[in-house]
Chain A
């Protein structure tokens, strides 16, 4: 039995920094950053939800701005810096947001959690003391379908207080 291989467009050479580490790889030009992270880099913390920019489950930080990685091409991150949920904890322990999510039970099934954590970090990195309205507005691009949002907002408020 022979497998027919259809020649596709050339893969793209990418040099990038992910969670502070240098990476260099070839990526199919049509592959999303989400799939690039999961399938080529091997970082599966970033989750796929809706695949059209509504749910925020795939949120990562790209050069310091949160983005939906399903709506970025892997080829676009050449020369850029990406932060994922895997970059939040250090050898010292969990990030205060991760600790607060645990303590406030701000997760249930967990699929939305990496996106919420990265998005919330994007807020607190720039605005250490956001009020509840600001937190809810900032996290409007992240959907949770089991825990509900109150516990998540409380966790972000708790982390904000502890990081102050």
Chain B
């Protein structure tokens, strides 16, 4: 491991300046549960680690009057699942943050870090897509230099994403899902806890007032493509159709069809495609249950 310096700036501007100065030879750190492991594995030669936990915007959860929520990129999992308002309004996010690692990891690991690590198997990314979450990104060039990117457009490959030199993920903004909305995330792992998804599915649905027709849907799959995979065909199979076994089965089949996994130590292509269908079906049913309250 390359001996790196430790920086703990107190503002976004300072953090961005440090990251801009060092380029590829610096990484931001929140919980460190991915970055420190990868630094030790010599994935990068780092001159500096930039600890972002002293920056207020990255460490706060803000609930807005319009029902949206902003989750600071460095907020650890436990602060998310101990937030009663997030539990009530965004249970699909809770599904993920309660299953990432064990208790020790949840004390440190953040949802923003899970996204920035950009692993296709990340548990946090698919439910963010299901909630149509947006990344608030700060860039070099002064206080007002920032941009917003939809979470579904953030990852560009295994371990890579749209963040450019000096850019930093500040927060994740989840819009108010509104009425008759439900979302859920589940993964398959051979253990009960502390494992990486063989496959996962994050789903959201919006039903009509009667609760018998899909008005909108999001379907995203984990660990079955180079990036968390949005499945428009599965969404299209739901929207406008009645909440029925046949409709849901068609969406599940579309998810299994869209999955393009690899075979590795965790599972085979056939197993992962099968799991994509099963998990999608189950998560649609769970999302419907939550949408109906």
Option from B32, B51, B53, B193 in Cβ contact (under 8 Å) with A137? B193
Whether the pair B40, A51 counts as a contact (CB closer than 8 A) is yes
B6 and A12 contacting across the interface, CB-CB below 8 Å:
yes
> Are B107 and A62 touching (Cβ within 8 A)?
yes
Interface membership of B192, Cβ < 8 A: yes
Asked if A141 meets B6 with Cβ closer than 8 Å, knowing A51-B40, A71-B31, A76-B51, the reply is no
Task: Verify A9–B5 contact, CB threshold 8 A.
Answer: yes
B103/A53 in contact, CB under 8 A: no
Mask, B173-198, CB within 8 Å of A = 1, is 00000000000000000001110000
Central interface residue in A12, A62, A75, A140, by most chain B CB within 10 Å: A140
Contact-residue size bin, chain B (C-beta under 8 Å from the other chain): 20 to 34
Contact B6 A119 (CB under 8 A): no
Q: Are B108 and A140 in contact (CB under 8 A)?
A: no
A8 to B47, CA, bound (A): 10
CB of B49 within 8 A of chain A? yes
Question: Does any Cβ of A come within 8 Å of B33's Cβ?
Answer: yes
Closest approach, in angstroms, between the C-beta of B101 and any C-beta of chain A?
A: 7
Taking CB atoms, residues of chain A closer than 8 Å to B5 are 9-10, 29
A residues bordering B, Cβ < 8 Å? Answer: 8-10, 12, 28-30, 32, 51-54, 56, 59, 62, 65-68, 70-73, 75-76, 119, 122, 137-138, 140-142
Name B's A-contacting residues (CB within 8 A).
Answer: 1, 3-6, 8, 29, 31-33, 36-37, 39-40, 47-49, 51, 53, 78, 101-105, 107-108, 192-194
